[in-house]
Structure 1
Amino acid sequence: MSAALPLAACGQQRVAAGAPGPASSSTPGSASGSTPGSPRSTPSPSGVGASPYVEPGAHDGAPHYDENNAYRRSGEMSPASGKDAQREADRIEPVLKRLWKQRKWDPKSVRTALLALGYEELRTGPKGEQLGGKLEVRGMDSRFEGDHYVTPEGARIGLHVHKDACVTAFVQKTNYQVQVNGPYMETGCFEPPFGH
């Protein structure tokens, strides 16, 4: 059974004892003496010259990776907003832990438990404008498995703490997680899916 990943500090997760830590990755720097469009004098390990279109620090060195995935980066939080968001995350985490232990991760149960903390559901107008409330609870996103889409059991939570700060969480059969982050450009407090 997976361990829960509660938040230790603003934007950082604390991994429960005995749980594997996050994998680290490093990105090799660019070759010295090489400029875009000029041939490399030292072959790469594969024996093929590096592409002059590699974006430094990008996943797999893909050209335009950062530009193409900007929608997946959360916005910046002010320190004061981050502190307020962390305070709310600390209120939500024990509730999700309890629900997870009780095997109650359906959106209705999660919504009811969080409304009991005093949060109000987010209400929006016909043009998507926020009319009040701060809490959103949704089902999990569907994903492609094998040859069809499946929607796993569970609930996703987005709490709008300030315009620049959110608590983003989920609870599902295998685990739960609570974190703080700035809002996403297109999807507010919810992390957008891949394949934009």
Structure 2
Amino acid sequence: MCRSTPLRRTPVAGVGLALAAVVALTACGQASAGAAASPTPSAAGASPYVEPGAGDGAPHHDENNAYRRPGTMSAAHAEDAEREADRLRPVLKRLWEERKWHPSAVRAELLRLGYEEERVAQDGERLGGSLTVRELFSRYEDGRYVTDEGALVALRVHEDACVTGVVQEAAYGVRAGGPYPETGCFEPPYGH
């Protein structure tokens, strides 16, 4: 069960990568379980080791991208996550319209809804709270790392259910989904 907010766009050039992150964040889809392919004869020139359904035809595609597949939510927890997404959506929309997308501004508004910031020990153990607001992931461009203005939002609703959102100049979006194996509620960036 996945429902996403349509992207709201402004006529801003040069935000392709940031917008791609938003599209990925608000996309609804399920990755196939992807059983390993057996080495059987194939069409001339095609690798016999490509997994079925591998989008780019790369061997071990599903295995190499397992860290990018969210976990499955139970039906009851998915409903809870959708309810929380419905609470966040109008706040992020308003912040986007007001052009307030700095993480500190977004965090302050979401804490007013009664959420508590998530606390994590140095060893990664979660100590309480459910809300994390951070800057956008950086990307490598022209020999340096660049971070666009904006905020990523993660709300842990249950162990198997999250709400994620983004607000930046180009767009905003909110979706419910399961957590990722290595990064919790945040979708991991490419380049693992």
TM value normalised by structure 2: 0.80
Q: Which residue among 149, 159, 171 is the counterpart of 1:153?
A: 149
> What does residue 168 of structure 1 align with?
164
Query: Is the partner of 1:179 in helix, strand or coil?
Result: strand
> What does residue 36 of structure 1 align with?
39
Q: Does 1:15 align with 2:6?
A: yes
What is the identity percentage for the equivalent residue pairs of Structure 1 and Structure 2? 59
Offset of 1:123 from its aligned partner? 1.1
Unaligned runs of 5+ in 2: 10-22, 28-37
Give the counterpart letter for 1:78 in structure 2: S
> What does residue 50 of structure 2 align with?
54
Q: Distance in 2 between matches of 1:177 and 1:106?
A: 15
Q: Is the 8 A contact 2:150 2:169 kept in 1?
A: yes
- Matched ranges for 1:11-160 at <5 A: 11-15=2-6, 36-38=39-41, 40=43, 48-160=44-156
Q: 1:159/1:102 Cα in 2 relative to 1: closer, same or farther (>3 Å)?
A: same
How many residues align? The count is 168
Give the counterpart letter for 1:163 in structure 2: E
Give the counterpart letter for 2:148 in structure 1: P
Unaligned runs of 5+ in 1: 1-9, 24-34, 41-47
Offset of 1:125 from its aligned partner? 2.1
Q: For residues 56-75 of structure 1, what are the alpha-carbon distances to aligned partners after superposition, in whole Å with 9 as ceiling and x for unaligned?
A: 10121111000000000000
Larger radius of gyration: 1
Q: 1:39/1:144 Cα in 2 relative to 1: closer, same or farther (>3 Å)?
A: closer
> What does residue 34 of structure 2 align with?
none
Query: Is the partner of 1:12 in helix, strand or coil?
Result: coil
Query: Which structure carries more relative contact order (alpha carbon 8 Å, separation 6+)?
Result: 2
Q: 1:117/1:39 Cα in 2 relative to 1: closer, same or farther (>3 Å)?
A: closer
User: In angstroms, what is the RMSD of aligned CA positions?
Assistant: 2.4
